[in-house]
Chains A and B, each alone.
Chain A
Amino acid sequence: GESVGLHLPTLSVQEGDNSIINCAYSNSASDYFIWYKQESGKGPQFIIDIRSNMDKRQGQRVTVLLNKTVKHLSLQIAATQPGDSAVYFCAERTYNFNKFYFGSGTKLNVKP
């Protein structure tokens, strides 16, 4: 089956710095990608999404970049804050509608 992986299981950044979380996916037919944030004791929350016909999408302090050539997805968080500390997952949707595959997650630690 498809696999979605993350390069770094843990990322520590200083408050105010920018964070970059990376994700590799394996299915070139995937058409939709999402980044989720999961805080301790809570379910994952939607952050930002991107369709496969785009290479960049921006939200509030977050940007997702999609490089289909190398099947790579990244999440950039600007001016990282302590409240950004969480586990971040990428997810890809396959051609099988609305079925997502999730990566194992990257834990982001923001140091004050």
Chain B
Amino acid sequence: DVKVTQSSRYLVKRTGEKVFLECVQDMDHENMFWYRQDPGLGLRLIYFSYDVKMKEKGDIPEGYSVSREKKERFSLILESASTNQTSMYLCASSFGGWLAGDGREQFFGPGTRLTVL
């Protein structure tokens, strides 16, 4: 089974702190994603990466950065945490390529619930 793990389930930080959220997948997936999930808004894509050291902005990248130094690991960084970044953060991974179906679905981690005070 694909396993996507996230470093913390719950995290409490203070405004202005630098925050690191780590994600690791064990299926040799090319693609990795970071989403945030807020009530009534669904999952919104922050950043994604389709290869090591490659990254692309999603729909809401402001206030975030990412790092992918190894294929299995994708980090989300909040440079200076703010209260409006309080949310559930979900990491996902998938195989790469254009082909629809055939295992191209995204596999999700359990999420990190971040509270910024």
Chain A residues close to B by CB (< 8 Å): 1, 4, 31-32, 34, 36, 41-46, 49, 51-52, 89, 91, 93, 97-105
Contacts and interface: CB of A to CB of B under 8 A. Distances in A.
Contacts, number: 63
A103 B58 CA distance: 16
A32 B104 contact: yes
Given A42-B110, A45-B108, A93 B45 contact: no
Most A CB contacts (10 A, CB to CB) among B35, B59, B100, B107 go to B100
Nearest to B101: A51
A98 to B, nearest CB: 5
A14 to B, nearest CB: 26
A98 B90 contact: no
A43 B104 contact: no
Given A89-B42, A102-B43, A97 B98 contact: yes
- List the 7 closest pairs (A to B, CB-CB), nearest first: A43-B108, A32-B100, A104-B42, A102-B43, A102-B42, A46-B105, A44-B108
A89 B104 contact: no
